[in-house]
Chains A and B, each alone.
Chain A
């Protein structure tokens, strides 16, 4: 049981480049989330999805886009990378009912230079 899988684990981008952070879960969870973690700032929600075909903005969506074409996958797209997007990105998922615990991926460390 893989849980939540994120790729890549590390990436260096140049300013203005684009990339997609991949996230997939095999637990049939409806809810998925993207957070960024900046030093001393905790985790901030970027985007979330309550099911395939449904996405919505979190606290800090600017500069990012998401899609949710399947229950399993929730990729995060950076179109024009900026130094302010240097961060660690975490994907998480949870089931709709019952236990509210999230399952987190191991993260993607992104540096924009």
Chain B
């Protein structure tokens, strides 16, 4: 079945450092890929998405490129801020009944001054 593998956290960075959170997937067909962010005490929010190979999703300075050849969707940001501290989830959605999302285990990011 479908699966998503994320790098384990926590990831601790200083403000203005570069961020990469690795995400790889296993799926049949051509899934859509997502990054969700969860701030403390809140539900998940969609951060960005890509629906086909070579698409780049971007939002709030974060980017991720759908790489079919390496089955990857790594999250990147050039300069993180303290306010980016959160848990980040990679997810995939395959077409089919109810379009259910499959999530990775999440990566906690802590940004310090």
Q: How far is the CA of A90 from the CA of B100 in the complex (A)?
A: 14
CB<8 Å pairs between A and B, sample of 17: A35-B103, A42-B89, A42-B106, A48-B98, A48-B100, A90-B43, A92-B43, A92-B44, A100-B32, A100-B34, A100-B51, A102-B44, A102-B46, A105-B43, A106-B41, A106-B42, A107-B42
Contact: B43 with A31, CB < 8 Å? no
Q: Could you tell me the distance in whole angstroms from the C-beta of A111 to the nearest C-beta in chain B? A: 16
Chain A contact patch, size range: 20 to 34
A82 touches B (CB below 8 Å): no
The 8 Å CB contact of A104, one of B45, B51, B105, is: B45
Interface residues of A (CB under 8 A from B): 4, 31, 33, 35, 40-43, 45, 48, 50, 56, 58, 90, 92, 94, 100-102, 104-107
Residue of A nearest to B108 (CB): A40
Interface residues of B (CB under 8 A from A): 4, 32, 34, 41-46, 49, 51, 89, 93, 97-101, 103-106
Residue of A nearest to B1 (CB): A59
Residues from chain B with a CB closer than 8 A to the CB of A33 are 98, 100-101
- Apart from A90-B43, A101-B34, A102-B101, what 4 extra A-B contacts exist at CB < 8 Å? A4-B43, A33-B98, A41-B105, A43-B103
